[in-house]
A and B are shown apart, each in its own frame.
Chain A
């Protein structure tokens, strides 16, 4: 389709401004709007306390990543993290210290992942990592490493050392799976609940049975010749 016949698309190009990009009042306005839009979209996607991505972003990112798995076959692993006994930290030391603990964990998580990994605050004291191109075993390694790091870390407030531990649930979305993003998150969340029930400060993963199809040999033997 030529540009003349589609004025809508040509208007989107800077070149369409009769004055060129310099000294064009509309162009300047558009640039300002672009900056404001980027700022707003960042605000709508991040959690103000920790600076991590928020729940809304998490849901769209999970959908995007499992779609990528469906397309390319490269697995996506999800790790869900919950700080153990967070309520008692709030109750004992106050909410400000509780917030410090959240920031502390956020920093630990962010500081030890790859660039392509996505760290989100799911809500409350729960965090989620999206690890693209990662198998279950890789996700388990990451979770175990994080668990250790949190356990060994020190959160100091008013000269008091506060011990922190966290529980982890890990699951992987593989090619060919018939599971929605929401159901995938739910499945990993169930694992996290199991980690809590089994005594906290540990990693639990989604174990799926691998289903084997009908092989060529089986098909041949089924081809009866009576």
Chain B
């Protein structure tokens, strides 16, 4: 078994997937876990924007053998690196089976350097989203109470299950009023999964709707660092603890 790789996907875009993965990574790093965040959105990358990073070479450059892997890592601090992606280049080649194989090898290589690797995948259910999940030990699905987000999260789970036989998914309810609301949506979705797919997703946690998240986005710094006392940061801290437990069980 290689490194502890965690994929963050959502089906629907705009549910806070990138923002959450950036903040989870920063909290993991803060707690002493050497963390790499891979921008897995090979078409519309924006991890670098949320962290205000100056990016010269990207994941695509590495995949196309134009750059060394080590030169493409952007370090936020000693414990936190980002492997950024190129934005605005629709690249079908980098989403095919060869890219999948190459990416698997890259992750193995990176595993010796990092304790934890997070992958922020693209929205949708494209081939790359599916195989990024396949290459990860843990699949995290981010959703909000928005009905379209719920349907898209379910569609994503169903497709990954069919394509790669994965039955373990960890749901992260974002932008909820409170834990009670999160659990209502979780148990609703769980019932449908049990009925039609014959397995239950796991509850990873929830993040309360919080203005500090928006403020963090605009300041281009992780809200977990800018607003450590905020409800969203406290919620996310619980999620980070669970992710660490999960990865310990995986190892």
Query: In residues 188-226 of chain A, which contact B (Cβ within 8 Å)?
Result: 209, 211-215, 217-219, 221-224, 226
Q: Is B155 a contact of A224 with CB atoms below 8 Å? A: no
Q: Is the CB of A221 within 8 A of B147?
A: no
Known contacts A178-B127, A183-B96; decide if A222 and B162 are in contact (CB<8 Å): no
> A213-B155, A214-B155, A214-B158 in contact; A221/B96 too (CB < 8 A)?
no
Contact with B along A157-188 (1 / 0, CB 8 A): 00000000000000000000010100100000
Residues A218 and B192 in contact, CB atoms below 8 Å apart: yes
In the complex, are the beta carbons of A209 and B192 less than 8 A apart? no
Q: Closest residue of chain B to A218, judged by CB?
A: B196
Number of interface residues of B (CB under 8 A): 21
Residues on B with beta carbons closer than 8 Å to the beta carbon of A226: 184, 188
Q: Which residues of B contact A212 (CB under 8 A)?
A: 158, 162
User: Chain B residues near A217 (CB, 8 Å)?
Assistant: 196
Contact indicator B92/A214 (Cβ below 8 Å): no
A214: B residues at CB distance < 8 A: 151, 154-155, 158
* B163 close to A211 (CB less than 8 A): yes
Which A residues touch B97, using CB under 8 A?
183
CA distance A215 to B158 in the complex (A): 11
Task: Tell which of A209, A212, A213, A222 has the most Cβ of chain B within 10 Å.
Answer: A222
Interface membership of chain B positions 124-137, coded 1 if the CB is closer than 8 angstroms to chain A and 0 otherwise:
00010000000000
Beyond A180-B92, A218-B192, is A223–B147 a contact (Cβ under 8 Å)?
Answer: yes
**B contact residues around A222 at 8 Å (CB):** 147, 150-151, 154, 188-189, 192
> B185 at interface (Cβ–Cβ under 8 A)?
yes
* In the complex with contacts A183-B96, A218-B196, A211-B147 CB distance below 8 A: no
B200 at interface, CB cutoff 8 A: no
B51 within 8 Å of A (CB atoms): no
How many angstroms from the CA of A33 to the CA of B92 in the assembled complex? 41
Contact A211:B162 (CB < 8 A) given known A178-B127, A219-B151, A226-B184: yes
Alpha-carbon distance A223/B154, docked complex (angstroms): 12
Q: Which of B159-186 contact A (CB under 8 A)?
A: 159, 162-163, 184-185
Instruction: Tell me the nearest residue of chain B to A223, going by C-beta.
Output: B147
B195 cross-chain contacts in A, Cβ below 8 A: 221
Residue of B nearest to A219 (CB): B151
A222, B92: Cα distance in complex, Å? 32
Is B191 among interface residues, defined by CB-CB distance under 8 A? yes
Q: How far, in Å, is B148 (CB) from chain A's closest CB?
A: 10
List, in ascending order, chain A residues with CB within 8 A of B92's CB: 180
Residue of B nearest to A178 (CB): B127
Instruction: Tell me which residues across on chain A come within 8 A of B191, comparing CB atoms.
Output: 221
Contact pattern, B 79-105, Cβ under 8 Å of A = 1, otherwise 0? 000000000000010001100000000
Cα A180 to Cα B192 in complex, Å, equals 36
| A186–chain B nearest beta-carbon distance, Å | 9
Complex: how many Å from CA A183 to CA B97?
9
For B97, the closest partner residue in chain A by CB is: A183
Smallest CB-CB separation from B184: which chain A residue?
Answer: A226
| Cβ distance B17 to chain A, nearest Cβ, rounded Å | 19
Q: What 0/1 pattern do residues 142 to 154 of B give for CB contact below 8 A with A?
A: 0000010011001
Task: Check if A209 sits within 8 Å of B150, measured CB to CB.
Answer: no
The CA of A167 and the CA of B196, in the complex, are separated in Å by 41
Query: Given A178-B127, A214-B155, A218-B192, A224 and B162 touching (CB < 8 A)?
Result: no
Contacts of A209 in B (CB 8 A): 162-163
Residues of A within 8 A of B151 (CB): 214, 219, 222
B150: chain A residues within 8 A (beta carbon) = 222, 224
User: Distance in Å from the Cβ of B187 to the closest Cβ of chain A?
Assistant: 10
User: Which partner residue on chain A sits nearest B188 by CB separation?
Assistant: A224
Bound-state Cα–Cα, A222 to B191, Å: 9
Chain A interface residues toward B at CB < 8 A: 178, 180, 183, 209, 211-215, 217-219, 221-224, 226
* Top 8 closest pairs, chain A to chain B, by CB: A224-B188, A221-B192, A214-B155, A211-B162, A222-B151, A218-B196, A222-B150, A222-B192
Q: 13 pairs across A/B with beta carbons < 8 Å?
A: A178-B127, A183-B96, A211-B162, A212-B162, A214-B154, A214-B158, A215-B196, A219-B151, A221-B191, A221-B192, A222-B151, A222-B192, A224-B184
